[in-house]
Structure 1
């Protein structure tokens, strides 16, 4: 319940007592009502004074903090937010020159206009907003060529890595097949001696490299002419 509601309740209480009439000891009733009213008004007054004191203290601390804050140091070429003299609105600008009388010349790059304003009216540019503005800024032809070269270089590098990976995979598959073939041959031909076709034949009349299946000392494979088929 706020202070205004408290006072309204007290007035309503006094009005109801007046309608019903005071009791036989009306003096005591009037004194009681007066005491309640005085205490309530004192309480309300103390609250208002306390609220005023709090507001005054906050205003004083805000003023002190503003006065104690050091002015921002600006430099030529630094981006900022500057007011335009024609409408008083703030726009993105760049400091062209700082004068000794506390003023500076700024350039509104988006509009190509130059204006003079007070240095103390300049504002800092938000870092995130500044990055967005730089990203939106059109790139020069040199920057575009550099980006294209970098893109092609990364593409060639990625392609070379892919080819190298494919070559390694093929080599691994080849080695697996060779290992499998070697193990299979060693198991199936265990104990067998492979005989060369140029080995010396056992027979006296054998010839090297002549014979059945390349083995000397054996007769040549016989050949017979097939008879002509007749009806």
Structure 2
């Protein structure tokens, strides 16, 4: 997928809807149920009211439970190369960082300093199975979806760059399009992107078949039976 494929109109639409809606829309675009490229379990969101994070993945893996075995100059050089990698690539971008210590992560990679740095480099947010911290002082406009919250940075260091990341069961390759909010994160397959706007509109319209009557005065089981049959016919 390229920047040209993600039009401004589609980007705006994706940012305006929640991740479950996009998840449903992918199944509409694919014409079947069973889409499974999403995170598992309950994750923590740094700013639950923020719009969805949408961007091309900039991937890396970190560790912090134990000191690195490599020389200090190697670790420092790799960290700077990490920042260079985060600054490159298609826009908009989102950092997708796997902590290889999961589920025993202690390293708060996402805190006040790294949020400011990544935001300054142009990234739109972060998704990680690891730790975030400094929640009261991190910059606005850079949502983080994390596996846990904690106080320490541990022995945090970058393990590798640009490799596939596993975030709570969701595997993400460098450059894939990610959508995330407080519900979790998904990878949007390349082959649905051209159909996604129509699919989102279909999801919204089909749900309205039930939601309108259900929220109206006089709703009862007879009304439900009628509208549910229409809903079943309209949805994937």
TM-score bucket (shorter structure):
under 0.3
More strand by share: 2
More helix by share: 1
Give TM-score, length-normalised by structure 1: 0.16
* Structure possessing the higher relative contact order (Cα contacts under 8 Å, 6 or more residues apart): 2
Larger-gyration structure (1/2):
1
Give TM-score, length-normalised by structure 2: 0.16
